[in-house]
Structure 1
Amino acid sequence: MKIIDLRTMRGPSYWSVKHYRLIVCKVDLGEFAGEWSNTIDNFAERLTALLPKIGQPHAPASRHSSKQLAKHPPLTQEQLADGEPLGHVIQHVALELQRQAGMPVFWGKSYPAREEGVEYVVFAYQEERAGRYAAQAAVEMVEALCRGEEFNLKPVIDELHDIREEEFFGPSTWSIVAEAASRNIPYIQLKNSSIIQLGY
């Protein structure tokens, strides 16, 4: 299982005109192509043991998070038991990893690619570097679970938290950005700058 293409969307794109801060990764499922969450022994149990909040209601941290959570509920234990494609599981793992590091992101989709055994996994990010890191970590975690191997989650969350602390907005800037996001006003942090652009 490996990522064969990883891209960052910073505005309206083919994948979404509404959700513009997206990671798009093309994942080759390799030997696990065609497998689902309910066809691999104890997969759901091991996943929820590592990430207990998958399958459980989330307590939103803000009004904006509450709205997003209502629109994009997390993966449930029932869905895992009934069977979910691994690409969809990777998407939810990548989102949950970011949330555990203090980045409230909720939107994501997965789609089969033209190539057999390959899926597009698309999900939201708050900090670009964290989103790209979460993509790789999610693929590695799901592969480890498929193989019945141990996965050390703590270094992943620690790294994501460090990225957030390095790149997150200050409190006054974040209050403006959060309000803009709640009104569906896009924002972009200009490259190599602390300046935030509202709108396109």
Structure 2
Amino acid sequence: MTGVAARPEAASEIRMTMLHATRGKNFWSLRPVTRMDLQVGAFDEISSAEAAGTTERLVAAMPGLVEHRCSIGERGGLIVRLRRGTYAPHIIEHVALELQTMMGHEVGFGRTRGGDVEGEYTLVFEHRHEQVGLRAAALALEVVQQAFDGVLESVDAAVTELRAIAEGPDTPPLHGRVLCGIIGGDGRAEAQQALRERLEDPEQLVIDVSPNYLLQAGLPYARSRMAIILDAELTDVPPRYQEEELAIKLVNVLCDAVERDGMVICPAKAWEIQDYARDSGCRVAVFAADERVTSRDTRRARAVALVRDGRIVIDGCDGVSDAGALDPALPAAPQVAAALAATTLCTECRR
């Protein structure tokens, strides 16, 4: 016999494994988002179409879901997806957004993706108030569990609770401005130290941005004057984010925080990173730990740094200059990137 009674209970199968909010620009969005990771158990293979009445219960409790366009791209798109069959994490994302809309916060951005481990999903959604977003995630999980289990009647209590939370204090937004953020798989600490040693004011903030921290919490500052991207060969993130496409997307988050016409120091031949920086309104300078810089790199670079005969050579708007010898005890790339960053800063100060 099949039917509701034969299915596992969503309340026990669908479980939250992580919940937090990001304050700064992040892998998912330029806006603050709430992130929730879920394990769905048997509901990895049970869609809304296979759970009779799920769609009807959700729409009855939250009529505003009809406004969600979803991937269909038009009003009622989510309802079409629900009737055809979509899965719990995706539904929870939309319910979390709709609960916030019902209590008066206009939000619309959300994404659901496969999680960092097998059988897990990551969903993120926009919030206007951090505590509201966190609670909306937990309440959305409960609502969808109840819808699958056939016991959902109303979301009025959830909406009332969110309104009460919204009246309380929110986490203050990030306002910090730093000189430079540095990201990459290796060499961040060396680049940070080398840049500080070259700065006229060593007290200026140069931030080592761990890729895993960035993935989990977003940038720890709001704006920067420049950024150094050493590479996209990341090791301290889950395996799927080590893949080239996602790794590049992650390191490019630093470009989002660089002020307009600020500088991004990029590796030679990292053309996707260079193009993203330019598209973000930044100027680009390019470095290499050897002499292998291509014409494509130099065509639009504000400055270029390379290594020749053990010395750092910088070709910028003021001509070619010698930035000193490499320290053989340290990796070359961080030293070259730091020298290029310091030189471009000094050039700007003289203008």
Q: Verify same fold: TM over 0.5.
A: yes
Amino acid at match of 1:40: A
**Number of aligned residues:** 161
Q: Residue 72 of structure 1 contacts residue 107 of structure 1 at CA under 8 Å; is this kept in 2?
A: no
Output the TM-score relative to the length of structure 1: 0.72
Amino acid at match of 1:48: V
Q: Residue 72 of structure 1 contacts residue 106 of structure 1 at CA under 8 Å; is this kept in 2?
A: no
Partner of 2:144: 142
Change beyond 3 A, Cα 1:117–1:34: farther
- Which whole-Å CA distance do the structure 2 matches of 1:130 and 1:49 have between them? 23
Change beyond 3 A, Cα 1:72–1:189: farther
Partner of 2:157: 155
Equivalences for residues 173-192 of structure 1 within 5 A: 188=173
Partner of 2:15: 2
Query: Which blocks of at least 5 consecutive residues in structure 2 are unaligned?
Result: 1-13, 176-221, 224-351
Change beyond 3 A, Cα 1:152–1:131: same
Residue 93 in structure 1 maps to residue 95 in structure 2: yes
Partner of 1:22: 33
Change beyond 3 A, Cα 1:120–1:78: same
Equivalent residue of 1:11, what SS?
coil
Deviations 1:137-182 (A, max 9, x none): 00011011111123541211111111222347xxxxxxxxxxxxxx
- Which whole-Å CA distance do the structure 1 matches of 2:80 and 2:133 have between them? 27
- Which whole-Å CA distance do the structure 1 matches of 2:128 and 2:118 have between them? 31
Equivalent residue of 1:166, what SS?
coil
Query: Higher relative contact order at CA 8 Å, sep ≥6: structure 1 or structure 2?
Result: 1
Amino acid at match of 2:158: V
Output the TM-score relative to the length of structure 2: 0.42
In terms of fraction of residues, the more strand-rich structure is 2
TM-superposed deviation, 1:42:
1.2
TM-superposed deviation, 1:72:
9.8
Residue identity (%): 27
Q: Residue 73 of structure 1 contacts residue 106 of structure 1 at CA under 8 Å; is this kept in 2?
A: no
- Which whole-Å CA distance do the structure 2 matches of 1:83 and 1:158 have between them? 30
Equivalences for residues 1-200 of structure 1 within 5 A: 1-16=14-29, 18=30, 20-56=31-67, 76-167=78-169, 188=173, 200=223
Higher Rg:
2
Q: Residue 108 of structure 1 contacts residue 123 of structure 1 at CA under 8 Å; is this kept in 2?
A: yes
- Which whole-Å CA distance do the structure 2 matches of 1:31 and 1:57 have between them? 27
Deviations 1:27-69 (A, max 9, x none): 11133222222121111111101101112479xxxxxxxxxxx
Amino acid at match of 2:25: P
- Which whole-Å CA distance do the structure 1 matches of 2:169 and 2:27 have between them? 27
Equivalent residue of 2:36, what SS?
strand
Q: Residue 91 of structure 1 contacts residue 121 of structure 1 at CA under 8 Å; is this kept in 2?
A: yes
Query: Which blocks of at least 5 consecutive residues in structure 1 are unaligned?
Result: 59-70, 169-186, 191-198
Equivalent residue of 2:173, what SS?
strand
